[in-house]
Amino acid sequence: MIIGMENDEKYEGVAADPEAPQVYPPGQQEAEALKQELESLKKEYDSVYDRLLRKQAEFENYKKRVERERSEFAQFASSELMKELLHALDSFDLAIRNAAGEGGAGNTLRGFELIYKQLLDTLTRFGLKPIEAKGKTFDPNYHQAVSTQAAPDLEENTVIEEMRKGYTLHGRLLRPAMVSVSVKG
């Protein structure tokens, strides 16, 4: 029995030797390599998923910030226009007080004409431009025909009358002019 023990001790010493190459049964080496690769891929997946979640959160915050800024801009962008329009409002107030005290229709009309010009000048400085329609050829891009009138002395599709002024804002149509158009009668 002593002989058997010597052999067992010999084998135990070999198995316990950390520097001895490990011998795997067939297929176990590939399984270990796949297991390590799987662990590596799991770590990479977790890292990519974490970055994705962070980017999504950043993007949501960005969208909220842009929406808030846009809302604030829309609220306060017209403040400069409002300040300018206050002058016209003051003039209307003065004209109404003067009309009530004087009773002069001529002065009242002149006052309203001045206020109209002041208001139009203010709006023009902010990019508003009236569409000249009367006497021009009808253009469906800028005019809205609401009636037609027989006019043998005018060329067909000429604007005869302007019922409501049209306007452009910085070159874009804001409101079409409502017009009456000539037809051959």
Query: What does each of the 185 residues of the chain score in pLDDT, given as a tens digit?
Result: 455 555 555 555 555 556 656 665 667 888 889 999 999 999 999 999 999 999 999 999 999 999 999 888 877 777 777 777 777 777 777 777 777 666 566 777 787 888 888 888 888 888 889 999 999 999 999 999 999 999 888 899 999 999 998 999 888 998 999 999 999 87
In a domain, 7, yes or no: no
pLDDT at 50: 96
Q: Is residue 149 part of a domain?
A: yes
Residue 143: name the closest of 123, 169, 128, 162 by CA: 162
So what's the pLDDT on residue 90? 78
Q: Is the dihedral of CA 15, 19, 22, 23 positive or negative?
A: negative
Whether residue 137 is contained in a domain is answered as yes
Residue 111 in any domain: the answer is yes
Residue 180: per-residue pLDDT? 96
pLDDT of residue 1: 46
- What H or E segment, with its residue span, contains residue 128? strand 128-130
Residue at 68 is within a domain: yes
Helix (H, G, I), strand (E, B) or coil at 157: coil
Residue 148 has a pLDDT of 94
In a domain, 17, yes or no: no
Question: Do the domain assignments include residue 12?
Answer: no
Domain count of the chain?
3
Q: Identify the pLDDT of residue 22.
A: 63
How many Å apart are CA 127 and CA 132, to the nearest integer?
A: 16
Check: pTM over 0.75? Answer yes or no: no
Are residues 184 and 137 both part of a single domain? yes
Q: Which of 152, 158, 151 is nearest to 133 (CA)?
A: 158
CATH of the domain at 184: 2.30.22.10
Tally the residues of the chain.
185
Answer whether residue 165 is part of any domain: yes
pLDDT digits (tens, 9 = 90+) for 53-98: 999 999 999 999 999 998 888 777 777 777 777 777 777 777 777 7
**Residue where the block lists tokens 């604007």:** 159
Expressed as residue numbers, the domain containing 63 is 33-73
Please check whether residues 96 and 46 belong to one and the same domain. Answer: no
